[in-house]
Structures are given as structure tokens and as C-alpha cells.
Copies of this chain bind each other. A is one copy, B any other.
Amino acid sequence: MREGATSRGLLPGAGADAKLLAVCLNPAWDITYQVSALRPGASHTTAVIAERAGGKGTNVARTLHQLQRPVHLIGLRGGAQGDLLHDQLLQAGIDCSFAPIKESTRRSITVVDGDEATVFNETGPLVTEREWDAFVALFADMLIGTAAVAISGSLPPGLPVDGYARLTALANEADVPVVLDAVGAPFSSAIGEHPAIAAPNRAEIVDTFGWDLPDRDAVVAAAHRICELGASSAVISSGTEGLVAQGDGRSWSARPPRLVEGNPTGAGDALTAALVDGLATGGDWPQMLRHCIAWSAAAVATPWAGELDEEVLREMLDATQVEEI
């Protein structure tokens, strides 16, 4: 165990009005189409169901905003999609600042066909070194007065693979604890810079490290290893099977009291939001993990990533059990 999680404010926190920061380096303009039946090779007439600002960090900020947490979203944006995204977030009342880039913010297309969703994610804009440096300066400025920061999602092309490591180091220098939800080399390199909480899901750990995680014991061991690699604590979600956490030298597991049907996209972002909120507001590990389960389940219960069903949220906060293992 590293002492970071406690010393950086997990217990006790800076209070419910503490300023939170969410980072979204590769936001997306999410377009959802409905088709009667998806037939590869065919031409389809599609109704546009929704166009929304997305990306993992954007969903984290939306979730915190819905629960009246004072959150500021920062990221990179460019082109027509960047303008659409920025305008929509401002209209939704979400405080945000984006460093400008020359290439266009990516799109993500979801084609809904009955219960099935087929997704096409553009890789994202090629960000120049100069644009990245400008973002890093914005990030450093925004850390002032921030109680905790969530860093999540993919890096757009052109960014150095240690981009999240650099941001995590800067946050630690400013004494701002980091929740990190990422995958691959950007994740593994940032762990070495001691984020307060590493919060990948089980599949992301498999993708990053190639570890075999067949059961809960293996996931608990993975959480230990992630702490040994540098994270102060680790929270690993296995979706509907719940989560395990390793922090302050102890291990916990938590799972939802019932299966919630709906759209799992955004559940991980709600969990990240609950963690960054927990880091800022304090409280004990069982309470924070109860929030993680409840926020995630409440996210599944709504059709759109970044939104929570507040009835499910209240139900789950009451009913979720956390056990030390």
C-alpha cells in the first residue's frame, strides 16, 4: 500500500463543494442512428436519434454535474465537431475549457438495430506537440484550487504515450489526487507516477497486461499488483459482477443487489465520477465503493452515457453491501 490515498484527501475530504476536474483529451461527437435491420453491404436509410457530446471524460463531467458537484471539464477540441461539442456542453451548463487543435474532434457513430448496437469510433485528430504543450499548461493552471482530478479515456493520435503519466506527475506536484481510468501503455506508464486510484475495468487490465483474470481472487491479486506497480489504490470493475478494491492495505468487494437492465456504456465513467467525488469529499472506503456501485447501476438504467437514473441511485445507495475480503 502507498500512503497517497489517505494523505491526498481520501479520508477526510475537502468537502462537498470541493472543485473537481475531469480530463477528456479525445472527446467525441456521438451520433446515434436507428436502422430497421443492419445488413452488411446494403444501403440503409437512417433516422438520427441523438447527437451528443461524448468521450469518457465528458461522461464523468456530465455525471458529476447532474449530481450538482462543482466540476470543470478540460480537453482538446477542433473543427466543426469540436464546436458542436463545446456549444452543447455550455448549453447544458457544464463548465468547460478546451485547448484548440487544428484537426477536427472525432465522431463516434452508433447504429442501433433492435437491441444490438454497432459502433464506429474514429481514432481522433492528430494533435501536434505545440497543441499538447498548450493543453498541459491549461491543465497545470486548472489544478490550482482543485480537490481531485479524473483522467480517463483514450489519447488522440500524436500524443506521447506517457501523456497521462505527465499529467499525473503534475497533479501530484500540485498535491491533487488523481483517479486514472485508461488502458494500454498510457495506463501502465501513468501508474508509475502514483495515481491516488487506478480504476481500469477487468477487460482493460487484460488488454494492458495480458493477465488471466478468470475469477474474483485473480482480480483481487491484480489490484494488489497494480498497487505494487505504483498506484496508491486500485478499484477494478467486473461490470454486473461488481468490483474489488485495494486501498489503505485492505481489500473490499462490492456488487449491486440486483441486475439493472439498460445501457452499460457510461457505467465505468459513473464509477470514475464516484471515485473522484469520494477523493474530494472524504468518507471511508465502504461508503465510496457503495457510491461506485450505485452510480454505475444508475448509469446503466438510463439510455445515455453520462446520465444517472436518480431513483435507481437512491435504491442502490441503500441496498448495496460492501465486504472486506
Contact = CB atoms under 8 A, between A and B. Distances in A.
Interface string A117-152: 111111100000000000000000000000000000
17 contacts: A31-B107, A38-B40, A41-B116, A41-B117, A42-B118, A43-B119, A43-B121, A44-B119, A44-B120, A45-B121, A45-B123, A46-B120, A46-B121, A46-B122, A80-B80, A109-B120, A111-B120
A116 B47 CA distance: 23
B122 A48 contact: yes
Interface residues of A, number: 30
Interface string A77-104: 0001101100000000000000000000
A40 B83 contact: no
A325 interface: no
A33 interface: yes
Nearest to A46: B120
Nearest to A118: B40
A117 B48 CA distance: 20
Contacts of A43: 118-119, 121
A174 interface: no
The A interface is mostly helix, strand or loop, or mixed, namely strand
Each complex incorporates copies of this chain amounting to 2
Contact of A33 (B40, B45, B113, B120): B120
Interface of A: 31, 33, 35, 38-48, 80-81, 83-84, 107, 109, 111, 113, 116-123
Contacts of A33: 120, 122
Contacts of A81: 80
Of listed A48, A83, A113, A116, residue having the most chain B CB within 10 A:
A48
A48 B81 CA distance: 14
A121 B40 contact: no
A172 to B, nearest CB: 31
A205 to B, nearest CB: 18
Contact of A40 (B40, B80, B122): B40
A123 to B, nearest CB: 6
Contact of A113 (B35, B40, B116): B40
Contacts of A121: 43-46
Of listed A38, A40, A120, residue having the most chain B CB within 10 A:
A120
